[in-house]
């Protein structure tokens, strides 16, 4: 495939959309043609994202009708859904419907939760409102790119940022029969994981120099993690998840613990992880515990593990906005268009953030 591929971003004013725009600005094949915002159509992109003003110049957010027109004019397009849960499904369904009517080829990667479950009932049970486009659910697969070698659907639902970290750490344990199907997860996330709209949990004076759990053993990501683990391994895992708010803006650190299925030392666990991810360019298995600063603003995930012979602990760090959202979505979109999954994503973390 030659030439530039038009890219459209929905939900254009949020943190994830901003990260998509940053990454796509340096992508060799995808070219941003439209950024949709219901709240700020006609407003400059650079006003919402001053750090991107030098790149996007006088370009403005577009209304839904403008984006739909672009999708019907271009023979093929990449559609990134960065709208909120409960909104994204309706928007993506509208975009795909007009593209289908025009006979154009659109591939969608949604970063919201709207297409992560296989049934609308499962979605409504967790999110408390109807899924916006139930007829589209069968057209989406939900997994991290490292866990689905063959993609059987035209579109993808990227797992959430916490889910991505837990899946990268936990799936090898279960798929390789290294541990029991009960995973105990403790995770810490940066404040950008709560979105751009200020709320008490992300207000800087409250979050700075503090660390606290929220929704312990009752977080909505736990059913999504369990569903993705079952899809990747066939195992009905029991997930005990305790998320924490960390005093930093970007990054996630999770520790996944489980009872070992047989006696294994640390070296054996690390060897198994390295073999499992041998063909995964964005996953690095370290001898020492991973650190958030080493992955911030990159699409890389760092893993490590330790064992006392009875219990295993696998640690994973990744950037919630990049590998856990925008970068992972671009990694999927690369695959949907037959590109190398690394296109536009190999820049290392800046360090010393």
Give the other-Cβ count within 10 Å of 172's Cβ: 27
Q: Which domains does the chain have, with CATH numbers?
A: 5-142 (3.40.50.720), 162-320 (3.30.360.10)
pLDDT the model gives residue 203: 78
- Residues linked to residue 313 through DSSP beta bridges, in sequence order: 257, 306
Phi–psi pair at 28, nearest 5 degrees: -75, -15
Phi–psi pair at 196, nearest 5 degrees: -80, -30
Q: Which of 142, 161, 228, 316 is catalytic?
A: 161
Residues 6 or more apart whose CB falls under 8 angstroms from that of 64 comprise: 36, 38, 91, 94
Active site residue 228: no
pLDDT the model gives residue 2: 58
Of the candidates 346, 280, 315, which has an alpha carbon nearest to the alpha carbon of residue 146? 280
Query: What region does 158 belong to: left with phi over 0, alpha with psi -120 to 50, or beta?
Result: beta
Cα-based distances in Å from 121 to 112, 118, 211 = 17, 9, 35
Question: What is the distance between the alpha carbons of residues 174 and 182, in angstroms, rounded to a whole number?
Answer: 9
Of the candidates 89, 94, 171, which has an alpha carbon nearest to the alpha carbon of residue 131? 89
Identify the segments of the chain with pLDDT beneath 70: 1-2
Residues 6 or more apart whose CB falls under 8 angstroms from that of 349 comprise: 293, 294, 295, 296, 297, 298, 300, 319
């Amino acid at each position: 495939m030659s030439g530039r591929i038009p890219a459209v971003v929905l939900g254009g004013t949020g943190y994830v959309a901003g990260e998509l725009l940053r990454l796509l600005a340096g992508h060799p094949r995808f070219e941003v043609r439209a950024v949709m915002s219901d709240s700020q159509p006609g407003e400059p992109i650079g006003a919402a994202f001053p750090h991107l003003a030098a790149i996007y110049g006088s370009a403005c957010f577009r209304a839904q009708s403008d984006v739909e027109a672009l999708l019907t004019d271009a023979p093929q397009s990449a559609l990134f859904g960065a709208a909120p849960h409960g909104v994204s499904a309706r928007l993506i369904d509208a975009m795909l419907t007009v593209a289908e009517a025009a006979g154009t080829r659109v591939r969608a990667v949604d970063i919201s939760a709207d297409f992560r479950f296989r049934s609308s009932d499962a979605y409504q049970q967790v999110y408390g409102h109807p899924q916006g486009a139930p007829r589209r659910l069968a057209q989406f697969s939900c997994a991290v790119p490292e866990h689905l070698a063959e993609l059987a659907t035209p579109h993808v639902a990227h797992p959430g940022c916490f889910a991505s970290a837990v899946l990268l750490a936990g799936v090898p344990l279960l798929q390789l029969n290294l541990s029991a199907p009960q995973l105990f997860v403790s995770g810490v996330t940066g404040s950008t994981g709560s979105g751009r709209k200020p709320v008490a949990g992300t207000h800087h004076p409250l979050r700075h120099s503090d660390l606290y759990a929220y929704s312990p053993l009752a977080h909505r990501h736990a059913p999504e993690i369990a569903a993705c683990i079952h899809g990747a391994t066939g195992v009905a895992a029991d997930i005990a998840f305790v998320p924490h708010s960390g005093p930093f803006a970007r990054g996630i650190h999770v520790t996944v613990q489980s009872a070992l299925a047989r006696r294994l030392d640390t070296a054996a666990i690390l060897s198994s992880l390295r073999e499992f991810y041998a063909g995964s360019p964005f996953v690095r298995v370290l001898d020492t515990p991973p650190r958030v600063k080493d992955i911030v603003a990159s699409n890389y995930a760092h893993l490590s593990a330790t064992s006392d012979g009875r219990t295993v602990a696998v640690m994973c760090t990744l950037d919630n906005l990049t590998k856990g959202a925008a970068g992972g979505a671009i990694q999927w979109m690369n695959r949907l268009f037959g590109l190398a999954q690394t296109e536009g994503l190999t820049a290392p973390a800046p360090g010393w953030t």
